[in-house]
Amino acid sequence: PHFVISINDHSDAICFNIDGKPGAILNLVTDPYTDFVVNGELIGEKKIEINKKINTYFGKFGIVNNKMDVKVEVSTKTITVFHGEDKIVFPWSATASLTKESFSISIIKERNLTLTMGDDATFVIVLHRVWKNHPLHRDFLGFYTLDSHRFSSMTHGLLGQFYHEISAEIYNIHPGLDEGKSDATMIVKGHKLRVTRGYQKDYRFDPKRGTNVPCWFVHYNGKGFIDGSPTDYVVSSLF
Amino acid sequence: IGEHGKNPESGLEIYSMKIDCKVTSRFAHNMVISRVVNRANESKEAFFEIELPKTAFITNFSMTLDGVTYVGAVKEKEVAQQQYQKAVSRGQTAGLVKASGRKMEKFKVSVNIGPTKKVTFELTYEELLKRHLGKYEIQIRVKPKQLVKHFQIDVHIFEPQGIAFLDFDAKFLPNNLTSIVKKTLTATRGHVSFKPTLEQQRKCPDCDETVLDGDFIIKYDVNRDLSAGTVQIVNGYFVHHFAPANLTRIPKNVIFVIDHSGSMSGTKMRQTNEALLKILDDMNTKDYFAIIIFDDTSETWKNSIFQATPNNVAEAKVFVRTISARGGTDINAPMLKAVRLLDKSHQDKLLPERSVSMIILLTDGDPNSGESNPTKIQENVKSAINGRYNVYCLGFGYDVKYSFLEKMSLDNDGVARRIYEDSDAPLQLQGFYDEVANPLLLDIELHYPENAISELTQANFRQYYDGSEIVVAGKISDDDLKSLIAEVFAQTANENLTLKAEVQVSEVENITQQQLYIFGDFTERLWAYLTIQQLLEKRVSAETNEKKNLTDRILELSLKYSFVTPLTSMVVTKPEENKNDSFVADKPSEDEKVPIQQRQYSYPGHAYSKRPSFTYVDSD
């Protein structure tokens, strides 16, 4: 999956890829203070060719707010809300919303869902539908954080570690190794990294084509930009 | 009966019988066509006898004699009644539809056929199939009086929502013959066909008795998920089916109010105890319950309401086993006691905040002790409940005044049900309980664009139970409407739920073009059927002025759509020797104390050309 992180007060963005194995579950957000967790499970293409790079996507997200006793599992097929012992399953084919005091989930059929958990968090999960007879690709999901201002400073995870504004200095912009793309040097978290100018897509408003988000790409699975290595974020279960 | 099903003794041969059922979006259109020939040298009386579901409305009946078709006309009951009276005064029996058992009505006519002449009977009836415990059932009672050369049942189902399963049940068929029932199923279409040959109809190789005697039942369900459901639009009418899946059940609080008066003694009391024990066993541990038993006095088990924990259930079962029959019948006091018990339990916060509270009354007789005026009891119960709890009344046996129970239920957002005195009475009681055992949604409101639609059927419901379905229909009054938005607002066990469906009118109409092969105006007829059914229900508890308006509207719709309802009759006129002779059909009332064995009705035979015949169909 691709990650896009805004930096420097939303004036620029950093992007990186995380390559993982299909079936692996990555921790995206963990806030021990609010007892809030978001994990994502990777899926691969329909066919995996030997000795070829495996492209992976998020096929399922698990969101847990233990304080509210709410768990939400979002897959490309259904959205399941667990509230205490209750379980409600929505299909992506329906426009629906569920509200309970400060928790709400609102689904726009076949497009996206917005999840609000009190004042703490607002997320959007976008459904990417692929032609079902496509020989390679399959449906996948995108995860967007709209509001995270109430998370504690202890929040971590592949996304969570960036919920508090980070500053990065970018300089030495010059023609890159890829023709037509610029390279630059970025200083972030005390590391000096080579980054390449590119763009990623935001699919929240145009689920088919997306809108371009220019970003500085960090090579090698975000090495130096993320804390530790991607394997540090692998967890054993969605919840 | 000879090779081709001919009965040489009677001279009459049913050479063809076809039952054709077409279902689109749960609305079933059924046609029964029977062809009979008289091979005798003299006139013979041919009977056409069909059993149809009580929930169906007859829409057409015709007889074709000597190439001339005599078609039935639906008329206001009073008008038909005048003809009926004339017939009675001539010494004839009239009234062609009679209750037959629990679910069926019997339609019966007879006509004299001249030597070597043929007659074709054709009966049409329509019905909105009701989802019951997770499935729809089409019941066809098969009972030809003799072997039939061309016998055929064809059931075509078209459900744009997708068919989840399709099964049939024909217990009368020996095992080796079930394979002759052909079933095909695609994503949205199902077809069941049954076409036994003469040999396959024979009970034994050399005898003339037929195996075709029993119920041919088709069961199916449609695909469903947690969505606002599906909306169909055809020719300016829409129907919205809503039956969400994947919801958590809502706890319920049930007060069982059980009659143990003297009349319950013996089998009824034993069966009630048996059913209660099973119901208690099936109770969800999150539910709450109380038991009030009454004769001319009433008693609340342990004076309180209890959570259905294993211990409480075990204790209640011990109590239930001790209930025995004695005394008179005072329904008023225990019903008010049940309301007070629920009130107090809610006030004391003993019950879950979001839960369904209901009173299930089981009685076998009319009140004869304490407040015995039925109207007063209905008023008392309604006023005490004040719209907060549901009342379900189960009338056990034939001595109950069903209309009294029906009004008390409908006044309080419940339903009444007759429990037939039979060996399966405990199963009937449990079956009813199962229907209301799992509430999934509360306070369901279905909204549509106000300015674009009119003539909406009921769109607010107190509860939605697992296994059932909410159906709303209406007329699109805005000719330029491009899309119809249906929104559902409801409460789940914990949250508020909003569901939305938006359908593009042109797209939906395109889809429904595909189903025109079934019948084009089904949505409008479904709307009319549903409107009439709901108005009939409303009429039960309406005050005089409102009743008059409701009656007028039911009558108007019944006549317009040619439905034989409790307010209309069907008259078939057959010119004979320059006289107009009529047949009239009526629908029997549920309140008639009809024994489980159908009443025998005989229509006196008469010479073909001399005596006028008169027949009559309608519906209560």
Question: Is the separation of the CB atoms in B20 and B138 below 8 Å?
Answer: no
Give the integer Cα–Cα distance in Å for B397 and B394.
10
B10 vs A139: which has the higher pLDDT: A139
User: In the numeric block, which tokens belong to residue B201?
Assistant: 């109809």
Q: Which of A87, A91, A98 sits opposite B497 (nearest CB)?
A: A98
Q: Give the model's pLDDT for residue A102.
A: 80
Q: A90 to chain B: nearest residue by CA?
A: B226
Mean pLDDT calculated for residue range B403-431: 91
Do B227 and A99 count as a contact with CB atoms less than 8 A apart?
Answer: no
Assess whether pLDDT exceeds 60 at residue B517: no
**Using the 8-state DSSP alphabet, how is residue B505 labeled?**
H
User: In the numeric block, which tokens belong to residue B444?
Assistant: 């369901």
User: In the numeric block, which tokens belong to residue A31?
Assistant: 């806030």
Percent of residues, chain B, with pLDDT higher than 70: 86
Assess whether pLDDT exceeds 90 at residue B132: yes
- What's the pLDDT tens digit per position in B303-327? 999 999 999 999 999 999 999 999 9
The DSSP bridge partners found for residue A42 are A58
- What's the pLDDT tens digit per position in B133-181? 999 999 999 888 889 999 999 999 999 899 999 999 998 888 878 889 9
Q: Give the model's pLDDT for residue B599.
A: 30
B86 vs B531: which has the higher pLDDT: B531
Measured CA angle at A217 (ends A215, A218), to 5 deg:
140
User: In the numeric block, which tokens belong to residue A140?
Assistant: 């996948």
Cβ within 8 Å of A, B 208-267? 225-228, 245-248
Instruction: Please name the residues in contact with A154: beta carbons below 8 A apart, sequence gap of 6 or more.
Output: A31, A32, A33
Q: Give the model's pLDDT for residue B49.
A: 86
Instruction: Please name the residues in contact with B103: beta carbons below 8 A apart, sequence gap of 6 or more.
Output: B53, B54, B139
Q: B500 to chain A: nearest residue by CA?
A: A95
Q: Give the model's pLDDT for residue A167.
A: 83
How many angstroms separate the CA of residue B453 from the nearest CA in chain A?
21
- What's the pLDDT tens digit per position in B232-260? 888 889 999 999 999 999 999 999 999 99
How many angstroms separate the CA of residue B339 from the nearest CA in chain A?
29
End-to-end CA distance of chain B: 38
Give the integer Cα–Cα distance in Å for B158 and B188.
6
Cα dihedral across residues A192, A196, A197, A198: positive or negative:
negative
Give the integer Cα–Cα distance in Å for B409 and B335.
12
Q: Quick count: other Cβ atoms within 10 Å of Cβ B273?
A: 20
Q: A106 to chain B: nearest residue by CA?
A: B498
Q: Residue B225: list chain A partners with CB under 8 A.
A: 89-91, 93-94
Do A98 and B228 count as a contact with CB atoms less than 8 A apart?
Answer: no
Three-state DSSP string of B381-438:
HHHHHCCCCEEEEEEECCCCCHHHHHHHHHHCCCCEEEECCCCCHHHHHHHHHHHHHC
Interface check A213 vs B, CB under 8 A:
no
Q: Give the model's pLDDT for residue A80.
A: 96
Give the integer Cα–Cα distance in Å for B156 and B137.
13
Interface check A83 vs B, CB under 8 A:
yes
Give the integer Cα–Cα distance in Å for A231 and A224.
14
Assess whether pLDDT exceeds 60 at residue B126: yes
B465-478: burial string, b at 16+ Cβ within 10 Å, e else: bbbbbbbbbbbbee
Mean pLDDT across chain B, nearest whole number?
86
Interface check B353 vs A, CB under 8 A:
no
- B475 backbone dihedrals φ, ψ, rounded to 5°: -110, 140
B439 vs B101: which has the higher pLDDT: B439
Interface check B483 vs A, CB under 8 A:
no
The helix (run of H) or strand (run of E) holding residue B530 is helix B522-540
Do A86 and B225 count as a contact with CB atoms less than 8 A apart?
Answer: no
Interface check B281 vs A, CB under 8 A:
no
How deeply is B30 buried, as exposed, middle or buried, from its count of CB atoms within 10 A (0-12, 13-18, 19+)? buried
How many angstroms separate the CA of residue B280 from the nearest CA in chain A?
22
Q: Give the model's pLDDT for residue B47.
A: 83
Give the integer Cα–Cα distance in Å for A166 and A13.
11
Q: In what order do the strands lie in the sheet with B453-454?
A: B230-234, B237-242, B470-476, B453-454
- What's the pLDDT tens digit per position in B104-123? 888 888 788 888 889 999 99
Nearest to B435 by CA among B497, B537, B358: B358
Give the integer Cα–Cα distance in Å for A47 and B79.
75
Q: Give the model's pLDDT for residue B93.
A: 45
Q: Give the model's pLDDT for residue A176.
A: 85
Q: Give the model's pLDDT for residue B504.
A: 86
Largest CA distance in chain B: 83
Q: Which residue ranges in chain A fall short of pLDDT 50?
A: none
Do A93 and B502 count as a contact with CB atoms less than 8 A apart?
Answer: no
Assess whether pLDDT exceeds 70 at residue B605: no
Do B226 and A91 count as a contact with CB atoms less than 8 A apart?
Answer: yes
Q: Quick count: other Cβ atoms within 10 Å of Cβ B286?
A: 16
Do A84 and B494 count as a contact with CB atoms less than 8 A apart?
Answer: yes
Nearest to B585 by CA among B118, B130, B124: B124
- What's the pLDDT tens digit per position in B377-392? 999 999 999 999 999 9
**Using the 8-state DSSP alphabet, how is residue A95 labeled?**
E
Q: Which of A84, A85, A88 sits opposite B492 (nearest CB)?
A: A88
Assess whether pLDDT exceeds 60 at residue B466: yes
Q: B494 to chain A: nearest residue by CA?
A: A100
Interface check A134 vs B, CB under 8 A:
no
Q: A86 to chain B: nearest residue by CA?
A: B248
How many angstroms separate the CA of residue A188 from the nearest CA in chain B?
44
Question: Is the separation of the CB atoms in A238 and A73 below 8 Å?
Answer: yes
Q: Give the model's pLDDT for residue B301.
A: 95
Interface check B498 vs A, CB under 8 A:
yes
Assess whether pLDDT exceeds 50 at residue B298: yes
Do A89 and B493 count as a contact with CB atoms less than 8 A apart?
Answer: no
Do A94 and B493 count as a contact with CB atoms less than 8 A apart?
Answer: no
Secondary structure class of B293 (helix, strand, coil): strand
Q: Give the model's pLDDT for residue B71.
A: 86
Q: Which of A87, A94, A100 sits opposite B228 (nearest CB)?
A: A94
